[in-house]
Amino acid sequence: MYMVHSTFLVPDEKSEEVVNIYRNRSRKVDEAEGFLDFLLLQNDKRPGELTVQLTFDTKSSYLNWVRSEEFKKIHDLEKKYPDQELAAVIPTVAQYRVVAK
């Protein structure tokens, strides 16, 4: 398995707005070959720290998703989000290979 964490910080008062965006996400990634799971994690002590966790069967499946037209369309929409403060947020991305379960 292959996991990717995209962690970003938003103002605490906007965290619920962002959570709702992800609750209503397009789910296009769910259709990607090799996709296994999506989670949105919220830091218990810092509500404005959110992490998207994606799980794929392999690194190559993840890379195929990132290179897909659907991925590009979704991320282009994010750049056009009306709240420019949220649209400007750049996540820190970490990628992991699952080595034990």
| Residue tagged 């962690």 (tokens) | 7
Q: Which domains does the chain have, with CATH numbers?
A: 2-97 (3.30.70.100)
- Distance CA(78)–CA(44), nearest Å, equals 25
pLDDT tens-digit series, residues 15-33: 999 999 999 988 999 999 9
pLDDT tens-digit series, residues 65-94: 999 999 998 877 776 677 778 877 889 999
Q: Say if strands 49-56 and 2-9 run parallel, antiparallel, or are unpaired.
A: antiparallel
* pTM passes above 0.85: yes
- Distance CA(40)–CA(14), nearest Å, equals 15
Phi, psi of 77 (to 5 degrees): -65, -40
